[in-house]
A = this chain, B = another copy of it.
Amino acid sequence: MRAVILAAGQGRRIGASEKGKPKPLLRLLGLPLIVRSILTLREAGIKNIVVVTGYKGQMIREQLGDGRRFGVKISYADNPDWQRGNAVSLHCAKALTGDRFILVMSDHVFSPEIIKRLAHKKIQTGEAILAVDKSPDEYIDMDDATKVYIENNRIVSIGKGLRKYNAVDCGAFLLTRDIFQVIEETIKEGKDTLNDVMDRVAKKGLLRAFDIGDEYWIDVDTEEALKHAERLLLKQLIKPTDGFISRVLNRPLSTRITRWLVNTNLTPNVLSIISFFICIISAALFSIGSYLSFLVGGLLAQFTSVLDGCDGEVARLKFQTSSYGAWLDAVLDRYGDAAIVLGIVYGLWSYTGEPRVWIVGYIALMGSLISSYTATKYDEIIRKKRSSNWRFGRDTRLFLVMVCAIINELYLFLVLIGIVTNLVSIRRLYIMRTSS
């Protein structure tokens, strides 16, 4: 399946021209808006993309190239009449689209899930399907939004000025080639916006609504909307599996750091490695065996715990997630965990000279590593069945390191880790047994 992205407009309301670039090239969390659209389409499985350019089209073409860099194939259509309505832009893509295609706006941010589901809809000749939001969030600018009125899944009227409406147009369509015929008819009547075209389709009873449910989207039309979009995307980074410490402490901090990191060239894997080295420094500090080194080591351990969220966040925001990256992160986390326990044990031993810390540390290390080992399998099999997401995870462990370092009770930390992590694994064995 192909997709068309309309990127011909100037973006007057957002003041793009004053910034010296067309609106599709304005950056949002490290990526130009249009690159985000392209990567969203790619994530939804669409690799053949037609971009319709107009205002400063050359600049956009230079930035995107043939699309290979993004793992897609981009063809271009030019709209010299970009100052006219956006239906004219879509019509420029006529020769490049297939029998059915997705249409999105370059200035809309979508959950890839919306495109994925929309692309899988069945569509009849002459029909058009429009993604709609039945409960738009408060950040949607209702004055500027295109409203629709839906009856039995059919859109009966559409327009910005609609007084009676029950959903909002999200700016993503599934169309067939027949739409070009409708555009030509509409333009002949002197109307040239997509709303006019869709209104015509609606009047024929051929405009269907696709409810996006809880998925996110936003139309980035103003500076304010750009800020909303940033907040919206950052909010998506909170995982439902995040533990307590992660949710209340690490995630709010890591997303703030990520907001800055996305504008650098640091890749997620490099971030994983940096986070690992900070972990090693923390371990080295513990091994010195003085209260001051414990204290700094403990704060650094919590810092690496925060930073540990950033690699995945950057990866998701910049569409750079990979199974290798997730795995590298996991393995480095295990080595980091082991280094911190070894550092603490060595430090405590230098400090107190008591050999029992070695045995306790040994059990803590065993418990910590085996609980990560059991977590992988457990998640695969059990999580689907159970909703509880309480977990004695890495966020909790590293937070506990910091607390115990501050109160100078790192031996207690080892004892706690030794007991709890091993109990966690035994509990998992028990749960798996009773539920299998």
Contacts and interface: CB of A to CB of B under 8 A. Distances in A.
Nearest to A425: B331
Interface stretch (A52-60, A71-79, A184-192, A373-381): A373-381
B366 A323 contact: no
Contacts of A374: 331
Contact of A362 (B355, B365, B429): B365
Contact of A376 (B358, B361, B365, B376): B376
Contacts of A377: 327, 330, 376
Given A362-B345, A362-B362, A338 B370 contact: yes
Given A358-B358, A362-B365, A322 B373 contact: no
A274 interface: no
A43 to B, nearest CB: 18
Contact of A338 (B323, B331, B358, B366): B366
Contact of A369 (B328, B370, B433): B370
Contacts of A334: 369-370, 373
A436 B324 contact: yes
Contacts of A370: 331, 334-335, 338, 369
A249 interface: no
Interface string A415-434: 00000000001000100110
A134 to B, nearest CB: 40
Contacts of A335: 366, 370
A359 interface: yes
Interface string A147-172: 00000000000000000000000000
A408 interface: no
Interface in A348-372: 349, 355, 358-359, 361-363, 365-366, 369-370, 372
Contact of A373 (B345, B361, B369): B369
Given A373-B372, A374-B331, A433 B324 contact: yes
A114 to B, nearest CB: 28
A374 B328 CA distance: 10
Interface string A368-405: 01101110110001000000000000000000000000
Contacts of A361: 362
A413 interface: no
A348 to B, nearest CB: 12
A346 interface: yes
A342 interface: yes
Contacts of A372: 373
Contacts of A342: 359, 362-363, 366
Contact of A327 (B338, B349, B432): B432
A328 B365 contact: no
Contacts of A373: 330-331, 334, 369, 372-373, 376
A308 to B, nearest CB: 17
A324 B349 CA distance: 40
Nearest to A345: B362
Contacts of A359: 342, 346
Contacts of A433: 324, 328
B429 A331 contact: yes
14 contacts: A323-B381, A327-B377, A331-B370, A331-B429, A334-B369, A335-B370, A342-B362, A342-B363, A345-B362, A349-B355, A355-B355, A365-B365, A376-B376, A376-B377
The 9 closest A-B pairs by CB, nearest first: A369-B369, A324-B436, A338-B366, A358-B358, A334-B370, A373-B373, A327-B377, A324-B432, A342-B362
Interface of A: 322-324, 327-328, 330-331, 334-335, 338, 342, 345-346, 349, 355, 358-359, 361-363, 365-366, 369-370, 372-374, 376-377, 381, 425, 429, 432-433, 436
